[in-house]
Structure 1
Amino acid sequence: MVSLDSLPHLPGCYLFRDSPEEWGNIIYVGKARDLKKRVANYFQKQNHSPRMAALVAAIKGVDFIVTNTEVEALLLENTLIKKHQPRYNIKLKDSSRYASIHLTDEQFPRIRISRKGQGQGSFYGPFVSAKERGFVYQIVRKAFGLRTCRRLPKRACLRYHLGHCSGPCIGKISKRDYQARVERAKSALSGRTAELIGSMREEMAIRAGRQDFERAMELRDEINALEHLQERQRVEQNRKYDQDVLSYLIDGESVHLMLFKVYRGTLTGKEEYQFPSSDDFLEEFIVQYYSENEPPEELIVSEAIDGSLVDFLSHLKGKKARVTIPRQGEKRELLLLAEKNLEISVFGDQAKLVSLQEALRLPRKPEVIECFDISHLAGSFAVGSMVQFRKGKPDKTNYRRYRIRDVQGGDDFASIAEVVRRRYSRLKKENKELPDLIVIDGGAGQLSSALKELREMRVKVPIISLAKKEEEIYLPGLAEPLNIKKSERASLYLQEIRDEAHRFALAYNRLLRKKALSE
């Protein structure tokens, strides 16, 4: 460990620990142009944000590593953050947008969507657009009849009967012929569609000459699908280059950041992040994000960034990276569009909460809402779901699913009562946060069952139910539903939450049925 006086006026990385000993846990890693000035600023500054004040209070030791340049410091900072996962550095969770198409290394390879490193085989991607990835995946999967099942089943599945799988599980295709399809799929995924289509046309003519019309028709369908894919690829290749558009706004102690992905001149998607504010949040975001994702040829931002960051991006890209601060024109329009989307995303969610508070006459904005639904198949495989929305967005880390244990048959009232009892008895026992509003999928009967359980547990949380047919909202003590149109913002928000709970419950029900069939 070192004292502040021994820190040099040089670039490098500083490491804060929760103990003065060398084996203390690293709680924060930062990069500095001048280590001494940067670290001293933490202890001299008086008006820290609550998060930074908590960090300073937790610092018990300081260590540092000197580098020759700021770019080296940025590279080292990212390496140290990955290695130590410090609690006070922002955490970026990658999403499925960056998954690749994966052909597994098996006797009969299967096609799937996954990230590199998840299994052996060939990976194609990653795709900057989940929509584009899904399009390519569906075409290749269906065109070549590749299997998607984790294990070869003992009997043909629905995909085989729909003509989407060649049926290796039941011996409908030899290993040699299946492997030939896999090789064609690899060619298509690698972009070599033109030469592949040519060879397939030749084979189709040969098959037709031998009167093997069934296989000739299969080849014809494969060629049609590949021509569709080829046209898609040709359109993309004629466009310019890839750009990222980065916009952010600070709301209290939080940063909301929007990243637009512009691929060869076309806006392909957007990503949104939220994390605690700090002095260097933008620099930290750029370093972490582009260390995991290939930098674009041009980064469009609203303000100048440090020259060392530009050098850092160029180092990762392998060629000069451009950072543009547009004042007018098409790039400025893209930046304004990103800002507009960000404002709608952040403050639009607040508008939903306010409208729901007013419609239900709640004492405060329902920032945390939990919704329950029941799913079963003619009384069997009965399950319950609970989804949580926080500040207008799904909080999937707090989703819960329940297998109904105490109810026989398809008794929705008793099933709702069971899952509500299990959820809030546990929260009370563990002394955890209760939601601001509980939503039950159903009518007055389901609401009554849930309310009875809450009263027995002495849980005082506003509760309502939403009936599917006319989207009627029921409140305890009222014989008639509220006079709220289903097209109003408050009702639409409740429908969004209810639909997510329904989707989550149905997915669990299907999973149990699938497991039962495979046993």
Structure 2
Amino acid sequence: MIDTTNLPENPGCYLYSDERETIIYVGKAKNLKKRVSSYFTKKDHDPKTRSLIAHIASVDVVVTDTETEAFLLENTLIKKHQPKYNIDLKDAKRYAWIELTREEFPRLVIARKTTGDGTFFGPFVSAAERDYVLRVAKKVFHLRTCKKIPKRPCLRRHMQSCSAPCTGTVSPEVYDENVKKATLLLKGKSRELLDEFKQEMAARSAAEDFERALVLRNEIAAIGHLADRQHVERRREYDQDVIAYQVTDGKVYLTAFNVERGSLSNKQEFTFDAGGEDFFEEFLVQYYSEREPPKELILGHEIDSALTEFLSVKKGKQVDIIVPQRGEKRQLLDLAQKNLEIAFFRDTLKGAELGTALNMVSPPAVIECFDISHLSGIAMVGSMVQFRDGKPDKNNYRRFKIKTVEGIDDFASIAEVVKRRYKRLTDEHAPFPDLVIIDGGRGQLSAAQEALAVLGVTGQPIIAIAKREEEIYVPGDVLPLRLDKKSIALRYIEEIRDEAHRFAITYNRLLRKKKVLT
């Protein structure tokens, strides 16, 4: 069985390989850890999935920023590796494109292939997104939809959603200007358009042309909404490699992304001794001695000009070294760095992010979390799980039968288990954890603090996490702390809380089962 404990909870793609290191399945996930784990925890798989699981020897993951990017990456990886257990997509159609035709009055149409003399935008992740983009572009810029220009205006002209070149009321120059704006929108440069539209709306309002200003306001709203929804894969006519690395304790940890025609197609990871100042240049020489360099190499810093010349000679044409500071290429470099941190430093990163989020002096290495479980007051139990350096330390898990509480009282139950746990540590002169987490809200947190006060324990970092809204309660703060739902810090807290909850429920079920058998 594959160990999934260290898999990230980010969106991305997972790749299963067999014993011969052949990729046999590629999948996408909103949460990689949950999705991969489900293969090995569920019992009711179909025969094909059971056969897949029997042949899995290893799993690799590629983290993306969004689930949409995972869709696009999955498509690219399947086409490249053609895994045995994926659906055969040889005859399937790729994501749709939008074509701007090359005519006197160009049209926007749906295209499945990028052949022809038009300009193509995409591919789009879904038909719904593509249709929405197309609808907004036609509506805002009043582009025609008819295959042949009719002799008389159609209903779209009367609805004022087409500039109607058929009537001769719009000149080719004005129409071309609208086409250029639509092109900017389809390229994802909506910010430039919004700035231009807002300036024009302000000018129209100042001139008391309120009717045109109202139209512009509605168009601004449509473009702004589109900017939030639009997900397209940027097309390139050349390949790129993106390389990020980090040096820690004399070792180099490096991730290389291969981007083919704008689509991320492969990820590689390397670890080696630093061994001098020129280790990165030495790596590039060895890496590209076995493969052709791409047209564009995206790095975090400049390299020696002689090395650039070597790469260009190897390729047979100029290789451009890009050190981006912003924009798409910077996002690619950041994504490579993110994958590097998750692959090599995820456990350390979790503690560091949590310490920063909670304004702690140093990252918490040892964390203990408490939870209470019962079924309508039956078999009231408590659990404590311990995480050390980002991983569960199951040797230090503890479970408690509630002894001093009658009925349903979560506050008193939390106080009891916290008091019992830390009284024992005090008596044994054992070290306390760097952070205590209570599953509950402000009431449970107060109960735990009072239990620590009875033992004379002061200054112990402690927080509580409430379900539903996932609010973090910190002693002394009036309002709860709300962390970004996608942040590593919150996901780490949730991971620990969920493990404490699982451990408590398991013990509760065990006691109830014993009672029934008795």
TM-score by length of 1: 0.38
Say which one has the larger Rg.
2
TM-score by length of 2: 0.38
